[in-house]
Amino acid sequence: MSESVNLPALGESVTEGTVTRWLKNVGDSVEVDEPLLEVSTDKVDTEIPSPVAGVIEEILVQEDETVEVGTALVRIGDGSGGGDAAPADEAPAEEAPAEEAQAEEAPADSEEDLGAEVPSTDAPSEEDAPEPAKPEPAPAEEKPAEQPKAEAPKAEAPKAEQPKAEQPKTEAPKTDQPASGTNAGYVTPLVRKLANEKGVDLSSLTGTGVGGRIRKEDVLAAAEASAGAGESASAPAAPAAVEVSPLRGTTVKMSRLRKVIAERAVQSMQTSAQLTSVVEVDVTKVAAFRDKVKAEFAEKAGAKLSFLPFFALAATEALKSYPIINATIDGDTIVYPDHENISVAVDTERGLLTPVVKNAGDKTLAQFATEIADLAARTRDNKLTPDELAGGTFTLTNTGSRGALFDTPIVFLPQVAILGTGIVAKKAVVVNHDGADAIAIRSTVYLALSYDHRIVDGADAARFLVQVKNRLEGGDFAGNLGI
């Protein structure tokens, strides 16, 4: 008796999905809710769990195939039909999930602020688990017998043959060893960056993530342990070694998400007439207010108070005054929504995603902070639903979180505008003090608004930006805390 597992509905706007990686093979046993495979859509990547317990009898859809919702993906039975085949493939079947689990995990390694557009590191996940490589351990069992005889050219023996011969013999215990060392597993760029900042040697760590993956928490724990060991503070610190990315010198296939991002970016630039306006904003009062309330805010709201909620609140208020920035184009008509749904750009290993804060016009600073933090964390952990990525009317991208002064972000259709916020930095500026010019140290930030010139004029963009600027420079947010 067998049962088919179909591609489930993954959101109202999702009609198909692409099988990116199988986590199980024919003959493997599965439990209820155990992940079977990974599916990629134009909205989100997700795992499909098994609704039943049993044994994989037949895989019906291969990797890189795109199928519609409701299509049968795999057949699971009680194991009576495929019991003889499982023992023969047991060794390679046990090794593959361990390697795939390493590539699959996307730890929430984030900085306080969000939104920098960086190249996706999704593709290495596909490279880490190439399906065609799985049959190799079977012929490798015959080669160990021949290898001692043909070992005359000793330079070739340690090169590739030796590891392959060892893998089938060691089975499960051996698969955990390479996964726990940094030389065997892929380390995310965010973890590498954190390790560099903290002066932590990644090769000395044992990861606690899935498959032995080194996570942000492992680096922080090692940094704290090093600080508590009482190392000499007088010795000059050596510069951190430059970490070389494992992508260097490789060729990888674009993920489905990266393809979608690329197609939409090109479509947006070819369809709309885009340009960018920039203003400089003095956020000294916001910085002072934030420093004053952030401890109480964190205690009561359960989230850190960064500058991003202030930018989001000020932008949302300005959208109410200038709804053309929040509008969409439908043929030869302009549609003005009666709500403000703010898409927030989040940098992930898979690429740039934009979860949506719904009905932002009614939010307080506390609500913005908690919702953005929650959406960002679940985006990086790949736990969002496709509907949480849909419905945005305006986008906010915080490129300053990665140190950028400002940039000219691309508007993604059907929206007509996106606001980029640069890094908040202190600098000397000219201020008016009692009617006279003076030099003062102020906290400033650049705000860059890219917009679709088909319906948004430069004057509209300037009016919107000036209202946001005046709101932030006023610094009166005591009534908007929400705690």
Question: CA–CA separation, 319 vs 338, rounded Å?
Answer: 11
Q: Compute φ and ψ for 178, nearest 5 degrees.
A: -65, -30
Q: Which residues of 313-324 are buried (b: 16+ CB within 10 A; e: fewer)?
A: bbbbbbbeebeb
- Comparing CA positions, the residue from 375, 408, 400, 380 lying closest to residue 390 is 375
Instruction: Say which amino acid occupies 420.
Output: G
- Tracing tokens 């960002």 back to the chain, one arrives at 376
The continuous run of DSSP H or E covering 16 comes out as: strand 16-22
- 453 catalytic per annotation: yes
Q: Compute φ and ψ for 291, nearest 5 degrees.
A: -60, -35
- 457 catalytic per annotation: yes
Q: What angle do CA 411, 415, 421 make, to 5 degrees?
A: 50
Q: In whole angstroms, what separates CA 211 from the centre of its chain? A: 19
Give me 43's structure tokens.
């909205």
- Tracing tokens 């890219």 back to the chain, one arrives at 450
Decide the pairing of beta strands 356-357 and 417-421.
unpaired
The continuous run of DSSP H or E covering 366 comes out as: helix 365-380
- Comparing CA positions, the residue from 51, 67, 64 lying closest to residue 4 is 51
The single residue of 33, 362, 457, 476 carrying the catalytic annotation is 457
State the CB neighbour count (10 A cutoff) for residue 175: 21
Question: CA–CA separation, 351 vs 356, rounded Å?
Answer: 16
The single residue of 64, 78, 387, 453 carrying the catalytic annotation is 453
CB distance 20 to 13 below 8 Å: no
Residues contacting 446, CB < 8 A, separation 6+: 278, 279, 280, 281, 405, 406, 421, 422
- Comparing CA positions, the residue from 27, 5, 23 lying closest to residue 80 is 27
Give me 346's structure tokens.
């989040």
DSSP 453: T
Specify the 3-state DSSP secondary structure of 3. strand
Q: In whole angstroms, what separates CA 352 from the centre of its chain? A: 7
Question: What is the maximum alpha-carbon separation in the chain?
Answer: 94
Residues contacting 237, CB < 8 A, separation 6+: 199
Question: CA–CA separation, 291 vs 306, rounded Å?
Answer: 10
As annotated, the active-site residues are: 453, 457
